[in-house]
Amino acid sequence: MAKIAFLGLGQMGAPMAARLLDADHEVTVWNRTREKAEPLGRRGARIASAPDESIAGADVAITMLSDPDAVERVVFGHGGLAAALEPRQTLIEMSTIGPDAVRSIAERLPDGVEMVDAPVRGSVQQAADGSLIILVGASDTAFERVRPILESLGTIHRVGDLGAGAAMKLVANSTIGATMAAFGEALALGEALGLDRSVLLDVLSETPIGTTVKGKRANVESGSYPANFKLALALKDMRLVADAAQRAGRTLRVANGTARLVRDRGRRGRGRARLLRRRRHDRATLKPFARDGSAIVSGASTSRRAATPTTAEGGSVERRPHRATLCTPGT
Where are the chain's structural domains? 3-162, 168-268
CATH number for the region 3-162 comes to 3.40.50.720
Instruction: Report the pLDDT value the prediction gives residue 272, as an integer from 0 to 100.
Output: 53
Q: Which of 36, 169, 216, 230 is catalytic?
A: 169
In angstroms, the CA 15 to CA 13 distance is 6
Query: What pLDDT, on the 0 to 100 scale, is given for residue 91?
Result: 98
Confidence check: pLDDT of 52 > 90? yes
Alpha-carbon distance 242 to 251, whole Å?
8
Who wins on pLDDT, 222 or 298? 222
Q: What is the pLDDT of residue 329?
A: 32
Give the residue, 271 or 63, on which the prediction is more confident: 63
Q: Is the pLDDT of residue 300 over 90?
A: no
pLDDT tens figures, 188-209: 999 999 999 999 999 999 999 9
pLDDT bucket at 225, cuts 50 / 70 / 90: confident
Rounded (5°) CA angle 185-186-188:
65
* Annotation says 169 is catalytic: yes
- Answer yes or no: is pLDDT of 153 > 50: yes
Tell me what pLDDT residue 318 has: 41
Measured CA angle at 318 (ends 316, 322), to 5 deg: 150
> CA torsion angle for 178, 137, 214, 259 (degrees, to 10)?
-20
Rounded to an integer, the average pLDDT of 282-292 is 45
Task: Answer whether residue 283 shows pLDDT above 50.
Answer: yes
What confidence score (pLDDT) does residue 63 get?
98
What's the whole-number mean pLDDT along residues 254-279? 68
Q: Taking the model in full, what pTM does it have?
A: 0.75
Query: d(Cα 187, Cα 191) in Å, to the nearest integer?
Result: 6
pLDDT for 273 equals 53
Task: List strand residue ranges (DSSP E) for 74-119, in order.
Answer: 90-93, 114-117
- Average confidence (pLDDT) over 12-27: 98
Q: What is the pLDDT of residue 133?
A: 98
Residue 286 has pLDDT above 80, yes or no: no
pLDDT, position 319: 41
CB 60 within 8 A of CB 90: yes
Q: Which of 50-64, 153-167, 266-280 has the lowest mean pLDDT?
A: 266-280
Flag whether pLDDT at 135 surpasses 50.
Answer: yes
What is the model's pLDDT at position 236?
86
Per CATH, domain 168-268 is 1.10.645.10: no
Instruction: Provide the pLDDT for residue 317.
Output: 39
pLDDT winner (highest mean) among 35-39, 281-285, 292-296: 35-39
Q: What is the DSSP string of 57-119?
A: T-SEEEE--SSHHHHHHHHHSTT-GGGT--TT-EEEE-S---HHHHHHHHHHSPTT-EEEE--
What number is the average pLDDT over the span 16-40?
97
Task: Name which of 101-110, 278-287, 295-304 the model is least confident about.
Answer: 295-304
